[in-house]
Amino acid sequence: MLHKLSIILLFIVFISCKKEVSTPEITSNKTHKIELEYATSFEVEKSEDFTKINLKTPWPEADKSFTYLLVDKEKQVPKNIDYDVLVRTPVDKIVVTSTTHIPSLESLDVLDKLVGFPSTNFISSEAARKKIDAGEIKELGKNESINTEVLLNLQPDIVVGFAINGNNKTFNTIQKVGIPVVYNAAWIEKHALGRAEWIKFFGYLFNKEKQANAIFKDIVTNYKNASKLAANATNKPTILGGSMFKDVWNVPYGNSWVAKFIDDANGDYLWKDTKGSGSIALNIESVIEKAQQADIWVTSGGASTKDELLARNQHYKQFKAFQDGNVYLANKKGATGGLLFFELGPNRPDLILKDLIKIFHPELLPHHELYFYQKIQ
């Protein structure tokens, strides 16, 4: 009897020990590359146990890159692998720093994970505004000088930032206290669909890559179908872009994402043959010479009437598009003044394209209501 009891006790001890054994260490770091369709500033590698996001271009003309290692919270961190930042997934609390990040969180149904944002007044999303009003998304001050005390009290799992260069002292301070900071470089993508593809970046953070892939696939399909529709137009209006700031008219280059939109909407952009990054700074005389007879003028900004535009610059009245009432501004605002075009637009290029097709070729989309743009009265 005693012998049997000893065997039973040994069995119980053995089972208990088995339960306490930790997750086996990862023995292989072998990965395979995930092909991206349009985004060029980051790459993704996956294994069975982790994901690597290689950020090749964190900001324009960057001389460094970053590797972000994403490991599920239930798994061990792999050894003998190089990375700059470790992120445990799925992320439970996040801080983002650009309004362009908000639509991705909303689309992936993880807006409830957002705990803080700098300059919340710029956010237009109705769902996000409700959470701000309820105190669920905290104000973090200005982007250039985030209130680190408030941020530390929130204890986010990750901060998603963006950078013009690598000299953000605030991000360095945040990282020193143990909060991972990763850069989102969607804004420097050359193709509008490349910007939208960054929803996959957020998909990996929340273990929602399948949902992110499906959302992006729908956007691409919508965009391509709209572009094919525009190609059927029998006319091709001439298009003026940009606007004046002080004495300079800033015109998008012909290889910019703005020019690509105009081309895909079957418009004849008057600076389509130029190449460069950013915008071309022109004097008013050269713009009048080239675009005074342009059929349509499309740009962004906060004006809503011709009088408001003329108050900014009297030269506008010299353009045929202005005289004929063919001026369209992406000026729709959220409740606290943020421009919807700059928040949602980069995430939904299909909606921007449909707006432009409606403006250039209204007969092709008779039932489409302008989402971002308004005709100036």
CATH number 3.40.50.300 given to 231-375: no
pLDDT given for residue 28 in this prediction: 60
Q: What six digits make up the tokens of 134?
A: 């309820």
AA letter at 50: F
- 32-219: which CATH topology? Rossmann fold (3.40.50)
pLDDT given for residue 29 in this prediction: 74
Three-state SS at 177: coil
CB atoms within 10 A of CB 122: 18
Mean pLDDT, rounded, for 319-324: 96
Three-state SS at 313: coil
- The whole-angstrom separation of Cα 140 and Cα 146 is 6
Between the alpha carbon of residue 196 and those of residues 9, 36, 280, the distances in Å are: 60, 11, 25
- The whole-angstrom separation of Cα 168 and Cα 173 is 9
Query: How would you classify the pairing of strands 141-142 and 145-146?
Result: antiparallel
The residue ranges of every structural domain in the chain are 32-219, 231-375
pLDDT given for residue 9 in this prediction: 39
Percentage of residues of the chain with pLDDT beyond 90: 76
Mean pLDDT, rounded, for 7-11: 38
- The whole-angstrom separation of Cα 280 and Cα 251 is 5
AA letter at 4: K
Q: How far is CA 55 from the centre of its chain?
A: 15
pLDDT at residue 22 tops 50 = no
Same fold, 32-219 and 231-375: yes
- Please give the full DSSP string across 121-173, using - where no structure is assigned: GG---HHHHHHHHTTSSEE-EETTEE-HHHHHHH--SEEEE--SSS--HHHHH
Mean pLDDT, rounded, for 24-30: 61
- The whole-angstrom separation of Cα 207 and Cα 184 is 17
Mean pLDDT, rounded, for 195-220: 98
State whether the Cα torsion 335-336-337-343 is positive or negative.
Answer: negative
pTM: 0.89
Look at residues 279, 334, 329, 320 and name the one whose alpha carbon lies nearest to residue 301.
329
pLDDT given for residue 90 in this prediction: 98
AA letter at 169: K
